[in-house]
Amino acid sequence: MNHSTWKTHKAKALAEQVEELGPKAQAVYDEAGLAIHIAQAVYRHRTALGWSQRELAEHAGMTQPAIARLETGLTLPSTRTLLRIAAALDQPLFIGIGLAA
């Protein structure tokens, strides 16, 4: 089994486990996915600028450990934090409810 097949198999197995656990588990799973998506976007934009975590923290008025925690994807940042990060990266912040276009 190659790596991409294994990842697909693992994701499918995890989704089945979440479905068995019910809506509360689905909410936790969805929140974790969102936190990871945000973490990846912040990392991608930060590195595109050639900034270290410390530099982003300075521009956002935050600490380097706070940026590191955000980029791990283990916590879901507040709206205030997202606004600070977006402004520091000179990027728009889009927040939506419902299906993405």
85 exposure class (CB count in 10 Å sphere: 0-12, 13-18, 19+): buried
Q: Taking the model in full, what pTM does it have? A: 0.71
State whether residue 61 is helix, strand or coil: coil
Q: Could you report the per-residue pLDDT of 20-71, keeping only the tens digit for each?
A: 767 777 777 778 888 999 999 999 999 999 999 999 999 999 999 999 999 9
Do residues 53 and 64 lie in contact, with contact meaning Cβ atoms separated by under 8 Å? yes
Domains of the chain: 22-88 (1.10.260.40)
Note the pLDDT of residue 32: 84
Query: Where does the pLDDT of residue 96 fall: very low under 50, low under 70, confident under 90, or very high at 90 and above?
Result: confident
What's the CA gap between 5 and 10, in Å, rounded?
A: 8
